[in-house]
Structure 1
Amino acid sequence: MSDEEEHFEGPGSLTGTFQQQAGNIRKNGFIVIQNRPCKVVKVSASETGNYGHGQCHFTAIDIFTRERFEDTVPSSHNCDVPYVKRTDYQLIDISEDGYVSLLTESGRTKDNLKLPTDETLAGQVCMDGIKEGFDEGKDLVVTVMSAMGEEQICAFKDVGPK
């Protein structure tokens, strides 16, 4: 199995996750809500009440779709937390159908990713920005975020002329 096909098998209940106590998950951390890897944007905790457990209320954003999720979990219970990995790749080519060819550290090519097209991602990664920079001859490096078997280009930077 190559490093591009790396899958994490952690002790969590979902592939690519590990368990962490809800009371230990903080803002800007990660959590799985409704089987989606999310970044926590707000955590509020309540004190122990009639039911014997303090509660953690999480507001989180899906790291791939930008969809908003909320969940309330007893603070002493375990939650699934995704392994999130960011990897930089040299952009080699962009095909007509939007697939990119990326150069890995080992010198191989990675050809299974498309430029992001979702308009909700336009503020973070503009497909046109990557394509325009590439067409202008800029030397671009793209950052790919991967979690729970999904991958997506999440950022890019110009590292100089080709």
Structure 2
Amino acid sequence: MVYETDLTTGDAGASSTYPMQCSTLRKSGFMVFKGQPCKIVKMSTSKTGKHGRAKVHLVGIAIFMGKKKKKKDICPSVHNMGVPNIQTHDYQLIHVSVMCAMSEEYAVAIKPCK
């Protein structure tokens, strides 16, 4: 019996999210809500009641949705929420040329910022 293994792609086994306590999340931060990464646009914390803990009310906008759908969540301040691992890269646009005769051709050159 022969098994074929595709070695062109691989996964390091790292998680795409990490846990963070709800009370430490901040506005304009990120969270994962129902499997979708969201940017936090509004956040409020209620006072503690006599039978429970403080609750955090989070409103976020889904990042990868075509329509900006708002997601709402209420969770106790001591519970953990998933936060996506985000890497940002800055680039500088150095050259753009557009040649239009009968066909359209676009050439764009970018370089990473250091």
User: TM-score, structure 2 length as denominator?
Assistant: 0.66
Aligned to 2:3: none
**In 2 relative to 1, CA 7–51 (structure 1 residues): closer, same or farther, beyond 3 Å?**
farther
Aligned to 2:4: none
Aligned to 1:64: 64
**In 2 relative to 1, CA 8–47 (structure 1 residues): closer, same or farther, beyond 3 Å?**
farther
CA distance in 1 between counterparts of 2:78 and 2:86 reads 23
**In 2 relative to 1, CA 64–52 (structure 1 residues): closer, same or farther, beyond 3 Å?**
same
**In 2 relative to 1, CA 33–51 (structure 1 residues): closer, same or farther, beyond 3 Å?**
farther
User: TM-score, structure 1 length as denominator?
Assistant: 0.48
Q: Secondary structure at the match of 1:18?
A: strand
Q: What do residues 84-117 of structure 1 show as CA deviations (whole Å, max 9, x unaligned)?
A: 2234579xxxxxxxxxxxxxxxxxxxxxxxxxxx
Aligned to 2:18: 18
Structure number with greater Rg is: 2
Matches within 5 A, 1:19-58: 19-58=19-58
What fraction of aligned residue pairs are identical, expressed as a percent? Answer: 33
* Equivalent position amino acid for 2:25 in 1: I
Instruction: For residue 138 of structure 1, report the CA deviation from its aligned partner.
Output: 5.1
CA distance in 2 between counterparts of 1:134 and 1:40 reads 38
Q: Secondary structure at the match of 1:48?
A: coil
Which stretches of structure 1, 4 residues or longer, exceed 4 Å deviation after superposition? 4-8, 133-138
Coordinate RMSD, CA, aligned: 3.4
For structure 2, the residue ranges without an aligned partner over 5 or more in a row are: 1-6, 100-105
For structure 1, the residue ranges without an aligned partner over 5 or more in a row are: 10-14, 91-132, 142-162
CA distance in 1 between counterparts of 2:70 and 2:13 reads 25
Aligned to 1:116: none
**In 2 relative to 1, CA 140–44 (structure 1 residues): closer, same or farther, beyond 3 Å?**
farther
**In 2 relative to 1, CA 7–40 (structure 1 residues): closer, same or farther, beyond 3 Å?**
farther
**In 2 relative to 1, CA 7–16 (structure 1 residues): closer, same or farther, beyond 3 Å?**
farther
Which is richer in helix? 1
Q: Secondary structure at the match of 1:58?
A: strand
**How many residue pairs are counted as aligned between the two chains?**
96
CA distance in 2 between counterparts of 1:7 and 1:31 reads 22
